[in-house]
Amino acid sequence: MPLLNWKGKTLSPPAPAALVQDAFLYPGGLGYPDAPSQGRLILGDNLAVMSALLPEYEGRIELIYADPPFFTNRKFSARIGRGEDSRKPEEWQLAEGYGDSWQDLDSYLQFLYERLALMVRLLAPNGTLYLHLDWHADAYARLILDELFGSGGVFINEIIWTYHGPSPIKTAFNRKHDTILVYAKGRDYTFNTDAVREPYNPNTIATFKSSRKAGFGKIPNLARGKVPEDWWYFPVVARLHGERTGYPTQKPEALLKRIILASSNEGDTVADFFCGSGTTARVAACHGRKFITSDISVRAVHTARSRLAETERVFSLEHDSVLTPVMAESKKIRVHVSADSVRLETPLKVDFWEVDPDWDGHVFKSAVQAQRHTRSGELPLELKIKIGRKASVRLVTIQGKEYQLNIQAVANTANGL
């Protein structure tokens, strides 16, 4: 088998992260406070995170989707604030999203190689790995995956995801597709054909209806639909305002839905260690799968948490101890407590807030949550919840700063400490 080489190619065992359990989130109070967690959202470098997961998950994850930086040598910024007028880009508020800048191709390939090696170790014997890239590096990745999966591995598909969009290119055809490489460890991988069938093109149906000889006499089951081709058209998220978070390079839920339905079953574990805005975890949660997802960026984890809070799956928030999020305190935050609700008063531009009505001083158990509405930009400032003797409120501003306010005793008003 031909092997790809680069300067500094090596595969040394990475040091595992020390994962700290920070919070459990019960969407809308569902199952609070005892329901078991169905998902894990982890802040940390995925190399250390995956390494820490090996003892529990080696060979046990049924589906891994990976959407790493593509080697574009660009910086992607996030759009924040929500509710902004999409016709007036000069008024959009921007913040740091994530970087995709590399010293050279060697360092990028090494980055990919050591992470893909861990994904292959975590993958179940009947599991599937989807690696999403584009023309910048997909050819190199194909050789790396051939090497990591070895002679027993199966290269299932090269999926082409096509889309439209503006482009400044004048010297080549517009580059409007990504490549998703799909691999398994053996022939026994999950593939749910019927879960992803789609209707035949009306022209195909008309052809078969008009002539018994069409298709060389073999008439497909037109009502059942067909297995999609390996080229997929889904519009990019910029055009689907409903699901847009403002996080850069967010992938469409429809794309992940097809992948998850085809390559996992209910109750399976789906992982995405480059989670970004949390698309994979959200779609997995909405379809009865467990999830593990991680990102090195605090903004990505905030975005994913807000999206996951809209699902019906209880999940935990963890972080690598070297990346402990800073929980600020502020005199600008006041909460008013009544018999059955908590009301927030602050000049800060809050994006998301939540309440633990029974704060134990260690792990935050989020029983109610509110978030700024994507289109209207409005944020509910009152949450229905009965609080105990000690409670805690956490909030995240649109700039991504996180605050915590502990309410020490039953009182009508609690100020920032």
Ligand X SMILES: C[S@@+](CC[C@H](N)C(=O)[O-])C[C@H]1O[C@@H](n2cnc3c(N)ncnc32)[C@H](O)[C@@H]1O
Q: What is the largest CA-CA distance in the chain?
A: 80
- What is the smallest separation between the CB atom of 5 and ligand X, expressed in angstroms? 23
- What is the C-alpha separation between 355 and 368, in angstroms, rounded? 6
Looking at the Cβ atoms of 383 and 398, the one nearer to ligand X is 398
Question: If binding is defined by CB under 6 A, does position 127 make contact with ligand X?
Answer: no
For 100-107, which contacts have Cβ atoms below 8 Å and span 24 or more sequence positions? 100/69, 100/70, 100/71, 100/72, 100/73, 100/74, 100/75, 100/76, 101/73, 101/74, 101/75, 102/71, 102/73, 104/7, 105/6, 105/71, 105/140, 106/6, 106/7, 106/8, 106/9, 107/8
Among 51, 179, 279, 404, binds ligand X (CB under 6 A): 279
Instruction: Between 285 and 296, name the residue whose CB sits nearer to ligand X.
Output: 296
Instruction: For the CB of residue 17, give the shortest distance to ligand X in the complex, in Å.
Output: 10
Please state, in angstroms and rounded to a whole number, the distance separating the CA atoms of residues 415 and 329. Answer: 10
300 touches ligand X (CB under 6 A): yes
Which residue among 38, 128, 249, 404 contacts ligand X (CB under 6 A)? Answer: 249
Q: Does 113 bind ligand X (CB under 6 A)?
A: no
Which CB atom, from 245 or from 404, has the smaller least distance to ligand X?
245
Q: Which residues pair with 338 in a beta bridge?
A: 341
C-alpha span between 209 and 316 (Å, rounded): 53
Q: Which tokens hold the place of 398?
A: 């649109």
Using CB under 6 A, which of the segments 206-214, 289-297, 348-356, 405-413 binds ligand X?
289-297
Site size for ligand X (CB under 6 A): 19
Nearest to 224 by CA among 244, 199, 249: 199
**Could you tell me which stretch among 218-226, 270-278, 309-317, 375-383 binds ligand X (CB under 6 A)?**
270-278
Cα dist. 301→23, 66, 251, 317, 410 in Å? 13, 16, 15, 9, 32
Q: Are 42 and 19 in contact (CB under 8 A)?
A: yes
The distance of closest approach from Cβ of residue 309 to ligand X in the complex, given in angstroms and rounded to an integer, is: 16
Minimum CB distance to ligand X smaller for 97 or for 127: 97
Q: Is residue 46 near ligand X by the rule CB under 6 A?
A: yes
* Residue closest to ligand X, measured at CB: 276
CB closer to ligand X, 117 vs 154: 117
Helix (H) or strand (E) segment spanning residue 345: strand 341-345
Q: From the list 40, 185, 251, 282, which residue makes contact with ligand X (rule: CB under 6 A)?
A: 251
Which residues, numbered 54-73, are part of the site for ligand X (CB under 6 A)?
67-69
Among 38, 51, 250, 404, binds ligand X (CB under 6 A): 250
Give contact residues for ligand X (rule: CB under 6 A).
45-46, 67-69, 98, 247, 249-251, 274, 276-277, 279, 294-297, 300
